[in-house]
Structure 1
Amino acid sequence: MVLALCAFGAGFIDAVVGGGGLIQVPALFTALPQQTPATLFGTNKVASIAGTSMAARNYLRQVKVEWQVLGPAFACTLVGAWLGARTVAWLPKDAVRPVVLVALVAVALYTLRRKGLGEVHAPLHSRAGRRALGMLAGLLIGFYDGFLGPGTGTFFIFWFVRMLGYDFLSASACAKVLNWASNFASLAFFIPAGHVIWPLALSMAAANMAGGFTGSHTAIARGSPFVRRVFIAVLLVTIGKFGWDTLRGLLA
Structure 2
Amino acid sequence: MQGSIGTATATYMMIKSSKISWSGIKSLMLPAFIGAAIGTIAVQFINTDILSFIIPVVLLFIAVYFLISPSLTQNNEEPKLSSRKYKYGVIPLIGYYDGMFGPGTGSFFTLSGIACRGQDLLTSTAMAKPLNFSTNIASLIIFLLAGHVAWIVGILMMIGQIIGAWIGSHCLFKINPTYLRGVVVLMCSGMLIKYAHSMGWIDFI
User: Fold-level match, TM-score > 0.5?
Assistant: yes
| Superposed displacement of residue 199, structure 1 | 6.7
Alignment partner of 1:90 out of 34, 45, 62: 45
Instruction: Name the structure 1 match of 2:95.
Output: 142
| Superposed displacement of residue 103, structure 1 | 4.5
C-alpha distance after superposition, 1:75-108 (max 9, x if no partner): 1111111111111232223335534544443443
Instruction: Name the structure 2 match of 1:129.
Output: 82
Unaligned runs of at least 5 residues, structure 1: 1-44
Report percent identity of matched pairs: 26
Alignment partner of 1:161 out of 102, 105, 114: 114
C-alpha distance after superposition, 1:140-165 (max 9, x if no partner): 22112111212212222222222322
Taking structure 1 as reference, are residues 53 and 91 closer, same or farther at Cα in structure 2, changes over 3 Å only? same
TM-score, scaled to structure 1: 0.66
> Is 1:63 aligned with 2:46?
no
Q: In structure 2, how many angstroms separate the alpha carbons of the residues matched to 1:206 and 1:240?
A: 24
Q: In structure 1, how many angstroms separate the alpha carbons of the residues matched to 2:57 and 2:148?
A: 32
Whether the aligned pair in 1 keeps the contact of 2:62 and 2:104 (CA below 8 Å) is no
Q: Read off the aligned partner of 2:41 and give its amino acid letter.
A: R
| Superposed displacement of residue 52, structure 1 | 1.4
Instruction: Report the RMSD for the aligned CA atoms in angstroms.
Output: 3.0
Instruction: Name the structure 2 match of 1:182.
Output: 135
C-alpha distance after superposition, 1:116-160 (max 9, x if no partner): 43233414327x714422432321221121112122122222222
TM-score, scaled to structure 2: 0.79
1:181 is paired with a residue of what secondary structure? helix
Instruction: Name the structure 1 match of 2:4.
Output: 49
| Superposed displacement of residue 194, structure 1 | 4.6
Structure 1 runs of 4+ aligned residues shifted over 4 Å read: 65-68, 193-204, 241-248
Q: How many residues align?
A: 200
Unaligned runs of at least 5 residues, structure 2: none
Instruction: Name the structure 2 match of 1:78.
Output: 33
Which stretch has the larger CA shift, 153-162 or 169-178? 153-162
Instruction: Name the structure 2 match of 1:118.
Output: 72
Taking structure 1 as reference, are residues 247 and 92 closer, same or farther at Cα in structure 2, changes over 3 Å only? farther
Which stretch has the larger CA shift, 173-182 or 52-61? 52-61
Q: Read off the aligned partner of 1:140 and give its amino acid letter.
A: L
Instruction: Name the structure 2 match of 1:221.
Output: 174
Taking structure 1 as reference, are residues 238 and 204 closer, same or farther at Cα in structure 2, changes over 3 Å only? closer
